[in-house]
């Protein structure tokens, strides 16, 4: 798949790439940074997020946090996860494997079934948080049905459709969602047997954060990826920033998970 580097290295919190349909947004560069033996790239990414945070204004009065402040907070968390990945190369390779599955086999099947003469139009519709929805739902489905694997694709399909409806995102054909889920599921099921449930959940969650164009605008990623990852892959400063920009219920759940800290 021909793909512009501007999408892989995206700094703006949006994606309209009809080349990949959002399936290659952000995460290839995130893995490049994690693999780089030099810390320079990761340090520069952290400096950018720190500068953006410092430049954003804290909320005043009854006004909530600005979009710029929310974006800076999620960028800070993303840099933490990339730093964590730099010390966990096995997870990097699993993320690469799942990312390649999405950009290759899954996108290919969707193009064949739904692309017609204008595959770019179909792909463009997927840029609105479809892939991060898919990854978060997979992580949750694995946890929910780890002892009943055959039920996971059905659960994931329903979770994606319900999530998009709840967040007022553009609807997608159920057949398209089902095909994407089932195409991704068979190889992922083999990965569960090889690496275990917990590791694959972590892999899907980190990839969901890396691939999401704007986690601050995506409740499924906030609750299904950033919240569980905050316990193991984030610095205290990033957790504090997220607490300042995310809803009170998210903060309460985070503190409960951290033992009431």
Q: What is the DSSP string of 26-83?
A: SHHHHHHHHH-SSSHHHHHHHHHHHHHHHHSPPP-TT----HHHHHHHHHHHHHHHHH
Quote the pLDDT of residue 260: 57
Domain ranges of the chain: 24-257
**Contact assessment for residue 25 and residue 17, using Cβ atoms and an 8 Å cutoff:** yes
Q: Return the half-sphere exposure (C-beta side, CA atoms, 13 A cut-off) of residue 70.
A: 16
* Residue 258's pLDDT band (cuts 50, 70, 90): confident
- CA-to-CA dists, residue 15 to 28, 123, 136, 214, 245, angstroms: 15, 11, 18, 9, 22
- CA-to-CA dists, residue 241 to 112, 151, 158, 175, angstroms: 43, 37, 32, 39
**Contact assessment for residue 222 and residue 90, using Cβ atoms and an 8 Å cutoff:** no
Spatial distance between the Cα atoms of 168 and 196, rounded to a whole number of angstroms: 34
Q: What residues have CB less than 8 Å from 198, skipping those under 6 apart?
A: none
| Secondary structure in 3-state letters for 134-201 | HHHHHHHHHHHCCCCHHHHHHHHHHHHHHHHHHCCCCCCCHHHHHHHHHHHHHHHHHHHHHHCHHHHH
Quote the pLDDT of residue 24: 95
pLDDT tens-digit map of 192-230: 888 888 999 999 999 999 999 999 999 999 999 999 999
Quote the pLDDT of residue 168: 92
pLDDT at 2 over 80: no
pLDDT at 11 over 90: no
**Contact assessment for residue 173 and residue 163, using Cβ atoms and an 8 Å cutoff:** no
Spatial distance between the Cα atoms of 202 and 8, rounded to a whole number of angstroms: 21
Average pLDDT for 54-80 = 92
The model's pTM: 0.91
* Residue 238's pLDDT band (cuts 50, 70, 90): very high
């Amino acid at each position: 798949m021909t793909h512009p580097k501007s999408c892989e290295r995206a700094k703006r919190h949006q994606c309209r790439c009809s080349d990949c349909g959002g399936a290659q947004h952000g995460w290839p560069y995130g893995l490049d940074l994690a693999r780089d033996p030099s810390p320079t790239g990761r340090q520069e990414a952290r400096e950018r997020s720190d500068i953006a945070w410092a430049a954003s204004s804290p909320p005043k009065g009854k006004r909530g946090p600005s979009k710029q402040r929310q974006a800076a907070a999620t960028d800070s968390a993303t840099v933490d996860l990339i730093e964590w990945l730099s010390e966990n190369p096995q997870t990097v390779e699993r993320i690469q494997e799942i990312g390649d599955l999405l950009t290759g086999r899954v996108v290919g099947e969707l193009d064949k079934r739904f692309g017609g003469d204008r595959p770019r139009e179909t792909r463009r519709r997927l840029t609105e948080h479809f892939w991060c929805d898919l990854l978060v739902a997979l992580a949750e489905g694995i946890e929910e049905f780890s002892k009943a694997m055959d039920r996971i694709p059905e659960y994931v399909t329903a979770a994606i459709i319900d999530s998009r409806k709840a967040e007022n995102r553009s609807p997608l054909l159920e057949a398209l969602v089902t095909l994407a889920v089932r195409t991704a599921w068979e190889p992922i099921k083999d990965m569960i047997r090889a690496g275990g449930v917990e590791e694959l959940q972590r892999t899907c969650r980190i990839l969901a954060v890396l691939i999401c164009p704007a986690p601050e605008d995506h409740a499924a990623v906030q609750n299904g990826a950033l919240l569980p990852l905050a316990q193991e892959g984030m610095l205290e400063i990033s957790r504090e920033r997220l607490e300042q920009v995310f809803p009170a219920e998210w903060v309460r759940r985070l503190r409960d998970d951290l033992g009431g800290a």
